């Protein structure tokens, strides 16, 4: 009797756990479903040629999302230019060069940056970074794409540092020892052996960092000025800009449910989802390729 009870209990638990395991798939499908069901009507409300035109002015019925897409790309590109070199070099420093005590100081600091809410960075952007840029570069306003890029760089750096550092730490010590024994300096070992061995992990770190940047909302909304101007040249970096995320966040609160504007905002959500999906698929391909190679070596 007691044994029977245990067995039944075990069955229920196993089912519950199995269902919880599957729940992630369910949630992704739900997210996809709601984005599509609320976003695709935009294609019927607004002609396609207008949707991908360059004028975003919803009050008068202009729903061109091109400036928003390019706005996101410009800010992301700017942020990557800052975060990728600084992030990778910091990871190399922490993993390969820094003495133990310095590691113990730097790692928690990077984690602290990762934990800072994005509104805090946006707040500092408004009060510190933007006036500074306005005065030093002599701009009409400090709320520009550049300001956004600088702060988003700060958001991407912790991701890039911690994943790259893991990748570097996973390189077996025998690689380093072999290289040093052949008479190479530590510097040559780092760039000739360790970093190439950790390449796929570092690439993945970069992709995930970029993914975070595209999706970041509050910071860009607070510091980029939110002007939906189509960026056409490098000059755009010093002008106000508006991203997809900021548009959704700032306008969704004011639209009527079911209006064309509402559907277009969801449509922008679909575009954003596709962008991050692309980035993530690339990142996970990199990591699975790495897995296969290491499996080959081990077998």
CB of 280 to other proteins, least distance (A): 4
Residue 174: its H or E element: helix 173-181
The answer to whether 242 and 67 are in contact (CB under 8 A) is yes
The CA–CA distances, whole Å, from 62 to 45, 217, 230, 246 equal 11, 23, 14, 17
CB of 38 to other proteins, least distance (A): 5
59-118: contacts with other proteins (CB under 8 A): 86-87, 89-90, 92-94, 97-98, 106, 108-113, 115-118
Nearest residue (CB) to other proteins, 37 versus 232: 37
Nearest residue (CB) to other proteins, 178 versus 232: 178
135 part of the interface to other proteins, by CB under 8 A: no
Report how many residues bind other proteins under the rule CB under 8 A: 83
HSE on the CB side for 132, CA within 13 Å? 10
The answer to whether 264 and 43 are in contact (CB under 8 A) is no
One character per residue 4-43, x = contact with other proteins (rule: CB under 8 A): --x--xx--xx-xxx-xxxxxx-xx-xx--xx-xx-----
Strand partners, 229: none
What's the rounded Cα separation, in Å, for the pair 160 and 206? 6
Nearest residue (CB) to other proteins, 24 versus 138: 24
195-224: contacts with other proteins (CB under 8 A): 208, 211, 214-218, 222
The CA–CA distances, whole Å, from 108 to 135, 180, 249 equal 33, 30, 31
Q: Which of 43, 120, 137, 291 binds other proteins (CB under 8 A)?
A: 120
223-282: contacts with other proteins (CB under 8 A): 245, 248-249, 252-253, 257, 265-266, 269, 272-273, 276-277, 279-280
The answer to whether 114 and 83 are in contact (CB under 8 A) is no
The answer to whether 229 and 241 are in contact (CB under 8 A) is yes
Degrees to nearest 5, angle at CA 265 with 264 and 271:
85
CB of 233 to other proteins, least distance (A): 27
CB of 79 to other proteins, least distance (A): 14
One character per residue 145-184, x = contact with other proteins (rule: CB under 8 A): ---------x--x---x----------------------x
Q: What is the DSSP letter of 238?
A: G
Nearest residue (CB) to other proteins, 185 versus 232: 185
């Amino acid at each position: 009797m007691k044994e029977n009870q245990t067995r039944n209990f075990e069955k229920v638990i196993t089912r519950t756990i199995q269902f919880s395991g599957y729940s992630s798939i369910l949630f992704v499908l739900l997210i996809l479903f709601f984005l599509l069901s609320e976003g695709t009507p935009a294609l019927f409300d607004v002609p396609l040629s207008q949707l991908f035109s360059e004028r975003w002015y919803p009050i008068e019925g202009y729903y061109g999302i091109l400036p928003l897409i390019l706005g996101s790309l410009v800010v992301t590109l700017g942020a990557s230019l800052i975060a990728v070199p600084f992030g990778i070099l910091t990871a190399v420093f922490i993993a390969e060069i820094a003495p133990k005590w310095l590691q113990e100081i730097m790692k928690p600091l990077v984690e602290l940056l990762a934990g800072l809410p994005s509104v805090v960075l946006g707040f500092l952007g408004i009060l510190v970074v933007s006036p500074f840029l306005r005065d030093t570069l002599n701009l009409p306003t400090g709320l520009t794409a550049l300001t956004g890029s600088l702060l988003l760089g700060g958001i991407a750096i912790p991701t890039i540092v911690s994943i790259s550092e893991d990748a570097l730490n996973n390189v077996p010590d025998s690689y380093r020892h072999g290289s040093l024994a052949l008479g190479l300096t530590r510097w040559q070992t780092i760039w000739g052996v360790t970093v190439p061995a950790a390449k796929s992990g570092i690439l993945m770190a970069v992709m995930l960092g970029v993914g975070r940047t595209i999706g970041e909302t509050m910071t860009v909304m607070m510091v980029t000025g939110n002007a939906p101007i189509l960026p056409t040249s490098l000059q755009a970096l010093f002008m106000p800009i508006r991203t997809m995320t900021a548009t959704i966040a700032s306008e969704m609160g004011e639209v009527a449910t079911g209006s064309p504007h509402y559907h277009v905002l969801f449509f922008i959500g679909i575009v954003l989802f596709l962008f991050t999906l692309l980035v993530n698929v690339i990142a996970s391909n990199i990591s699975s390729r790495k897995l296969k190679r290491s499996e080959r070596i081990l077998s």
